[in-house]
Structure 1
Amino acid sequence: MIYRTEYPRPQLVRKEWQSLNGEWDFAFDDQNIGVKEKWFQNSNAFDKKINVPFAYQSKLSGINDPSFHDYVWYRREFSVPKEWLDQRIILHFGAVDYRAWIYVNGQLAGFHEGGHISFSLDVTDHLTGGTETLVVRVEDPSTDETIPRGKQFWIEKSDAIWYTRTTGIWQPVWMEPVSATSLAKVRFTPDIDQGNIIVELDVQGDYLEKQVDLEISFKGEKVVKDTIKLLEPHTKRAIDLYNRKIFRTAFHHTGWNWTPETPNLFDIKITLRDDATVLDEVDSYFGMRKVHVENGMVYLNNRPYYQKLVLDQGYWPEGLLTAPSDEDLKKDIELALEIGFNGCRKHQKVEDPRFLYWADQLGFLVWGECAASPSYSEDAVSRLTREWLEIIERDYNHPSIVAWVPINESWGVPFIKANKQQQHHSQAMYHLIHSLDTTRLVISNDGWELTQTDICAVHNYNHGSADEKAKYEVFKESLSTKEEILKSKPALRGIYADGFEHQGEPILLTEFGGIGFKVGEESGWGYTSVKNEEEFVADYRRVMEAVYASKVLHGYCYTQLTDVEQEINGILTYDRKPKCELSKIREINDMWHSPIVKD
C-alpha cells in the first residue's frame, strides 16, 4: 500500500507530478562501511524493505525497530514518464532526519543537512531515460545533543517528556517536471490596512521577454487578472484588492479577512508565458491576515484576539512524527476545534505542510516551532539558524501561522539567565526571524528567561491536585496580575533573563495543565493525576477557572491535545479517543474570561 498520495506542497501546486512513496529497499549500516563499499551502486547491500515515508522506528515502516542505527540507506527504482523527458526533473524530499546524501544512478546528486524541512534537487543530468535508481544515505547521530532533535531522546528507551527517535525519510518523496524557465518561489504578504496583497515571484532560467499572468479568485469569483512583464528574475507587485469593483460589490459586505471564525482564502493561478507558450503554471492561495501587539494585547486584523491554544506534539502511535494519512492531519485540527480551541502551539516540531494547509482551510491558529538541540555550542547555533531560514522560506505563505517560537524553556541555552553569549543567540534568533518575516510575532524563549520578545510567554504547571488547596491558591494568585506573574518563578527560573524586563508585551500562559488520566491499559504520567472521567472534567474546570480569573492573561496554551507514548496528560488518548465527553471540555473552554485590565 502506498501512503500519502495527495500532492505534498499545497502552496505551490503543479498538475504533473509523481509520488515516490511506498516500498523501498533498506539497510542498516552500523559499521558505516556503505560509502567505502559503494552501496550507492550495489543493490545486494539492501536486505530489508521499508514503507516510505515512515521512519524505521515506526510500526508503519514495516520495520518497527526503536534501537540506535546512526547510518541507514534507502534504494528504489523509478521511471520518468516519456512525456517529461524534454523537461527538467525535480526531486523533492519533505524531510529527512538528519543528514542526507542523494545518489541517482550511482552518482551523487546532492546533499542536505537539517532533519525537519523540505529540500529539492534537479536530477535531470543524472537520468538515463530508462529505469532509474535512487539511493539515499542518511546519517542521524543518535546521541549528539548539538543537533536540533526536539522530543527525540538521545537514550534508547523513551522516558518522561522524551520520545522515540525519527531517523531518515519521514515526509513524502516525489518528483515533477518543470521547464528550463520556471517559477522557483512564490511569496504573498498581505497588507489589510491598504487592502493590498504583495506578490513576489522568483523565476529561474531565461526570464527575458517572459510574462507572468496572475488570476486571483475569491469564493469562485474572479477578482483580479493582471500581467507582469518580467524585467529581472525577482519580481514584486502590490495588488490592490480593495478598489476592485467586482470585489467591492460582490464580497465586501460578507467580509474577506482570514480568521479562525471566517477562514477566507483567495485562490491564485500563476502562469509563466513566453508569447503564447505556457512555460509553467502553479496554483496557490493566500489569506488576508494581520497580527500585531498593542496595549498589552495580541491583535488579529486590528482587533484584540484571545488565543485559546492547545499544545500539539504531532506524534502518532503507528507513524511517530509522520501522520498515517492526510485525513489524520485534518482530524487533529477538527478535534481541537470541536473541543473549543482556536489554535495550537505545534511543539518542538516543524509540521507537514498538509497540516498547515488544513489549518488555513479550517481556521486554526498555529504557533510554529522548531526542534531544539539539548546543548549549546557554536555548531548548535549554526544548525538551528539554518533550519529557521528554511522553515520561513517554506511556510511563509500560510495565514494560519501567527507566531514563531525559536527557543523553548531555555533548551539549547541552559545558562541564558546570565550568560551573555546565549542571550545574544536568543536575541539574534528574534531579530533574524523578524528580518525575514514582518507579518508574525516572535517569542524569544517560550516559558521563562525571556530576552527581547513580542509575547511574554509563561509556563506554570503548579496547580496542584484537587486536595492541595493551598498550592492551588498560590497558582491562582501567581496568575492574577502582571506583578504576580513577573515575580513568579514557576520552574525556579525567572520570567526574564538577567538584564531584560517586561516592556508591555502581552502576557500569555503558554504551557500549563497536563492533567494525567489513565485510560484502559496505558500507563504513564502527568503533572497531576485523576482517576476517572468525572475527576478529569472537574480538574480541568478547576485549572481553567484560575486562568480565567487572571486580570492580565491574554490567552493560553493547554498541555496537551493527545497522550504521547508515556505521557498520559492529553485530552485525547494517543490513538485520538476522547477521555470524556468533548462537549464538557468545550463548555469550559467557552467560558467567559475576564476583560484585560491595563495596570
Structure 2
Amino acid sequence: MDTSHKLSRRDFLKASAGAAGTLMALSLAQARAMRAVQQREPMRTEVRDIDGTPVVFQYGQPVPSFDTWREREPCREYIDLNGLWKFRFDPADDGLSKGWHTPGHDDSGWHRVQVPLPWDLYDTPNFGSYDGSRYGTGTAFYDGYAWYRKQVHVPANWSNKIVRLFFLGANYRTWVYINGQLVGVHEGGHTPFALDITTHILKGENTIAVRVYRRPWWSSYDPSVPNPTPITDDRELPYKPVDYWPYAGLIRDVYIEATSQINIVKLLTATSASTLDLRVIVQNNSHKHLTRTLSVDPGEGTGAAPQSRVIQLSPNQVTAVQFTFELPSATPWDTAHPILYRLVATLYPGRGDRGVENRRPPEDSLSVRYGVRSVEVRNGRLLLNGRPIFLKGVNWHEETAERGRSLTLEEYDRELGLVLDTHANFIRNCVYNRHPYVYEFADTHGLLVLDDIDNMWLDTAQEDLQTQSYGLSRALALMMAWNQANHPSVIMWCLQNESQIWADTQVYREWIRDMKEAVQSIDLQHRPVTWASSSSWDPAFDLADVIGFNEYFGYFYGQDSDLGPVLDAVHASYPDKPILITENGTWSIYGDHGSAEQPGTEEWHAAKFLAHWQQVMDPSRLGFIAGYTFWLLKDYKELMTYNRNLNGISTMGLVTFDTEAHRLVYNEFKGAANPLP
C-alpha cells in the first residue's frame, strides 16, 4: 500500500476552495450574512405529511428500511457487495478528471481491499498498540479523497424492478457513480443512506465507483511538530477535531436490493399496554394507477388476527396506510424479559378477501421486530411501562483494534457482552449512530439505549449555520429517529454533546429547539429528548424532557464532593425533570497500582467512580435521578494532540483497547447495584 501521499494544509485549502471552505475566522454576524450563498446539505432531507403520517424523504424519495441488511425479504432480490473492491488514494483530487468513475477506466493497477473496513486499517502497523513511537505513519493518517470500484452483474429479470443501493456507513462525504453517472452525494459518516439506481443500472455488467473524502483534522500528525493547526469546515459534523477517531471510507455494509415497482418502503410501530398503532409506507414507482391488497400479520403470540385493506395508488404516489391492533396476549418488553414480536406486511396483486389473496403470489413484503412497551416522563420520573427505572450505563465507542469501526458480528457480541457482564442495563451511543446490529442486540438482550448524533463540540457560529441554512444537524436528528423508530431498546434521543451554550443563548436554544421539533415530528412513540451538556446549568434545560449533562468534578474542575449539591440545585430548579449523568469518569494506566490518592493508578480510577456513584445513590436523590453513565466501557482511539505518546489511545475505559483486560474500576462498576433492578 502506497502511504507516501498525504494532503498538506495548503493542498487541503486548495481542494476545498469554492466547495467546503471554512468560516473559522468569521464573526457570527459575518456567518449570518453568508447564509444566502450557503448550500443545503446534499441529501435534501425533509419531512412530508403523507395521509396524516410524517415520512422522511432524502434525494426526493422516502427513506427505506435498513433492516433488510440482514432480514432479507423473500419477495425481494439482493446482491451483497461486501468483500473485495478495487481501491486507490487520490491525493491530487484528479480522479474525476481522469475518469476513475467510468466503466472503461483501467483499474488493473489498483489495490484490492476489503469492504467494509476503514482505510485507516489498510496499512497502519500497530494501530491498536499503546506504543506511540510510530504515531503519524500509515494509512490511518491519510486524509483527502479516495476511490472504490466494483463490477456488479445484474440479472436480466431486474429490468422491471426498482433497484436501490444501500450504504450502512461511509465516512465522511461520499459520491456514488453508476456506469459513469453521478447518482447521489451523501454527507455524514455514521448514518446509513440508500440511492435509487433504477435508471442507472443495466442488465449484465455494471461499474459502481464510490469517491470518499475525509477532511484533515490537523496541519500535521507528526508528534515532533508543536501546536499543529486544527483544520475546520463549518458545515461538517463534527466541524473541528473532536475526541474520537474519524475512521474513513466504506466502514459498514454495502448491498443492492431489488423490489417490485410497487413496494413497502417502511413500517412504523407505536405501542401502548395492549394496542399497536402501525403505519405502512407504500410507494408506487410505476406510471400506472394500481390496486393492491395490503395484509398485515402483527405476529405470533400477540393474540391479534391479521388485517387486510385494499389500497389504490396513482402513478408515482407514496401513501401511508394506518392499522390499529388490539394485542390481548402480548407480553410487555422490558430489561428482564425482552419479548419481541415479528410483524409482516405483504402486498398482493389486485383486490379480494384474505382467502383469495393467499392463493396468489405476493408482490412484496416487509417485516419488522417490535416490542410492546411505553416510555414517558411523569412527575419528574423516567418510567418504563409505567414504573420508575434507573439507568446504570456506560458510554461506548464502536471500534476494535483489529477492524476499527467495521466490527464483525462476533466482535459486537464480545463488546456488548462486556456491558451485560457489568450488570449495566443502558448504553449511550456517544456521539453517532451505530450499526443496525447494535440496536438489534439491545432489543434481544434487554439493553436500554440513548441514541446520539454527530453534533459534538459545535460553537455558536456553527449552531447558527446548521439551524438557519445548512440543516445537517436537523437531517441527522430526523434520520436517527426514523431509522431507530421501531426498536424498543431505544428509549431516548440525544441531540448534542458539549457544544457552546453561552456565547449566544438564543442561537443555541434555536438550534436545540429545531432538532427537538424534528425528532418529535416523526417519532410516533414520543420518546423523551435530552442531550449531553457541558454544563449543569445549560440555558436550554427547560426544553429537555430529561436533563442530561457530563460531569467531571474532582478531575477537570472542583471537588468530587461538589456533585451531590449540584444535583440537588439542578433538581430544585427543574423539579419536574429527571436528571441523567451522561458522562463521568477519569483515567488510569493499566497495571499501574498504588494509592487511591495518586492520579493515574487503577486504585485512583476506581475510587473516583465510587465517590460519584455514592452521591448519586443517596436515598434523597433517587427520586429524581434517572441514571448514571460511566465514561466509558473501553479505551478508545482519538485524533487529538494529546495521548500521541500512547498512540492516540485514551485510557479512561473499564477495559483496555487492545486486549480488553479489566481494570479495577471494572469490578467496582460491576459490583455497583442498580437501586431499581
Structure 1 length-normalised TM: 0.82
Find out whether 1:511 has 2:583 as its counterpart. Answer: yes
Name the counterpart of 1:37.
98
Q: 2:487 & 2:325 partners in 1: Cα distance?
A: 20
2:380 and 2:368 map into 1 onto residues whose CA distance is 35
Q: Any residues of structure 2 matched to 1:394-543 within 5 Å, and which?
A: 394-410=483-499, 414-416=500-502, 418-438=504-524, 439-444=526-531, 446-448=533-535, 449-451=538-540, 452-463=543-554, 471-479=559-567, 481=568, 483=569, 485=570, 502=574, 504-519=576-591, 529-532=599-602, 537-543=606-612
State the identity as a percent. Answer: 22
- Quick one: structure 1 residues 75 and 184, their matched pair in 2 at CA, closer, same or farther if it must change by over 3 Å? same
Q: Contact 1:265–1:285 (CA<8 Å) still a contact in 2?
A: yes
1:241 correspondence with 2:346: no
Which one of the candidate residues 306, 309, 313 is aligned to 1:228? 309
Residues of 2 paired with 1:267 and 1:48: CA distance? 42
Could you say if the C-alpha distance between residues 8 and 300 of structure 1 is closer, same or farther in structure 2, counting changes exceeding 3 Å? closer
- Cα pair 1:57 1:164 within 8 Å, conserved: no
Asked if 2 retains the 8 angstrom alpha-carbon contact of 1:405 and 1:446, the reply is no
Alignment CA distance shift 1:567-1:528 (3 Å): farther
1:51 shift after superposition: 1.3
Q: What letter corresponds to residue 618 of structure 2 in structure 1?
A: A
What are the Cα deviations for residues 487-534 of structure 1, in whole angstroms up to 9, with x where unaligned? 9xxxxxxxxxxxxx63621112221123424249xxxxxx984534x6
Q: Does 2:626 align with 1:551?
A: no
Whether the 8 Å contact between 2:563 and 2:612 is mirrored in structure 1 is no
Q: Output the amino acid matched with 1:563.
A: D
Give the match for residue 491 of structure 1.
Answer: none
Give the Cα–Cα distance (whole angstroms) in 2 for the partners of residues 79 and 519 of structure 1: 54
Shift of the 162–539 alpha-carbon distance from structure 1 to 2, 3 Å rule, reads: closer
Q: 1:351 deviation in Å?
A: 0.4
Query: The residue matched to 1:516 in structure 2 has which SS?
Result: coil
**Equivalent pair of 2:375/2:384 in contact (CA under 8 Å):** yes
| SS of residue in 2 equivalent to 1:428 | helix
What is the 5 A alignment of 1:56-455?
56-59=119-122, 65-82=139-156, 84-142=158-216, 143-150=231-238, 154=241, 162-192=243-273, 195-205=275-285, 208-218=290-300, 223-232=304-313, 233-243=318-328, 247=329, 256-275=331-350, 276-323=360-407, 325-372=408-455, 374-375=458-459, 376-377=461-462, 378-381=464-467, 382-410=471-499, 414-416=500-502, 418-438=504-524, 439-444=526-531, 446-448=533-535, 449-451=538-540, 452-455=543-546
- Measured against aligned partners, the alpha-carbon deviations of 1:428-485 in whole angstroms (never above 9, x if no partner) come to 21222112225211115534225111111132211459xx9x9333344444x2x2x4
Question: 1:541: how far off?
Answer: 3.3
Is the alpha carbon distance of 1:125 and 1:592 closer, same or farther for their aligned partners in structure 2, counting shifts above 3 Å? closer
Q: Cα deviations across residues 357-392 of structure 1 (Å, max 9, x unaligned)?
A: 111111111111011254433544412112222222
Equivalent pair of 1:51/1:61 in contact (CA under 8 Å): no
Please list the CA deviations of residues 535-557 of structure 1 after superposition, one character each: whole Å capped at 9, or x if unmatched: 65555434322221262323111
Match of 2:112 in 1: 49
Number of residues of Structure 1 aligned to a counterpart in Structure 2: 541
Superposed CA offset, 1:85-135 (max 9, x none): 553322111122222221112222232233221122232333332222110
1:157 aligns with: none
Query: Normalising by the residue count of structure 2, what TM-score does the alignment of the two structures yield?
Result: 0.73
Q: Please say which of residues 295-304 and 579-588 is displaced more in the overlay.
A: 579-588
1:271–1:278 Cα contact (<8 Å) kept: yes
Asked if the contact 1:561–1:571 (Cα under 8 Å) also holds between the matched residues in 2, the reply is yes
Maintained 8 Å contact 1:562/1:576: no
Contact 1:343 1:365 survives alignment (8 Å): yes
What 5-or-longer segments of structure 1 have no aligned partner? Answer: 1-6, 155-160, 488-500, 521-526
* RMSD across aligned positions (CA): 3.2
- Partner of 2:199, secondary structure, is helix
SS in 1 for 2:613: helix
SS of structure 2 residue aligned to 1:66: helix
How far 1:66 moved relative to its partner?
Answer: 1.8
Q: Distance in 2 between matches of 1:591 and 1:263?
A: 18
Structure 2 gap segments, 5+ residues each: 1-65, 128-137, 217-230, 351-359, 638-648
> In 2, distance between residues paired with 1:456 and 1:419?
17
Distance 1:478 1:304 in 2: 22
CA offsets, 1:171-207, max 9 Å, x none? 1111122111111122112233x52332333233357
When residues 10 and 60 of structure 1 are mapped into structure 2, their CA distance, relative to the original with a 3 A threshold, is: farther
Q: Which amino acid aligns with 1:39?
A: W
Structure 1 position 78, deviation (Å): 1.7
- Distance, in Å, in 1 between the alignment partners of 2:346 and 2:69 is 17
Q: Does 1:14 align with 2:73?
A: yes
Farther off after superposition, 336-345 or 141-150: 141-150
Separation (CA, whole Å) in 2 of partners of 1:336 and 1:301: 23
Give the letter for the 2:616 counterpart: V
* Residue aligned with 1:17, SS: strand
Whole-angstrom CA distance in 2 between matches of 1:10 and 1:265: 19
How big is the shift at 1:45? 8.5
Question: What's the offset of the Cα at 1:70?
Answer: 1.4
For the 8 Å contact 1:208–1:231, the answer to whether it is kept is yes
Cα-to-partner distance string for 1:126-161 (whole Å, 9 max, x where unaligned):
3332222110112333333424445x974xxxxxx6
- Shift of the 408–46 alpha-carbon distance from structure 1 to 2, 3 Å rule, reads farther
Retained in 1: the 8 A contact 2:171–2:250?
yes
Query: Higher relative contact order by CA 8 Å / sep ≥ 6: 1 or 2?
Result: 2
CA distance in 1, matches of 2:665, 2:68: 32
Give the letter for the 1:97 counterpart.
N
- Alpha-carbon contact 1:340-1:585 (below 8 Å) kept: no
Q: 1:587 deviation in Å? A: 5.2
Structure 1 residues 345 and 33, CA gap change in structure 2 (3 angstroms): same
The Cα of 1:235 is off from its aligned counterpart by 3.0
1:331, 1:180 → 2: CA distance? 41
Partner in structure 1 of residue 642 of structure 2: none
Structure 1 residues 416, 269: CA separation in 2 closer, same or farther (over 3 Å shift)?
same
Structure 1 range deviating more: 425-434 or 41-50: 41-50
For 1:350 and 1:48, the matched residues in 2 are separated by: 30
Q: Does 1:567 align with 2:647?
A: no
SS of the counterpart of 1:125? coil
Q: 1:242 to 1:186 in 2, by over 3 A?
A: closer
User: Does structure 2 conserve the Cα–Cα contact (< 8 Å) formed by 1:339 and 1:582?
Assistant: no
Q: 1 CA distance for matches of 2:186 and 2:71?
A: 21
State the 1:73 CA deviation. 0.9
1:47 Cα deviation after fit: 2.9
Please state whether the residue corresponding to 2:186 is helix, strand or coil.
strand
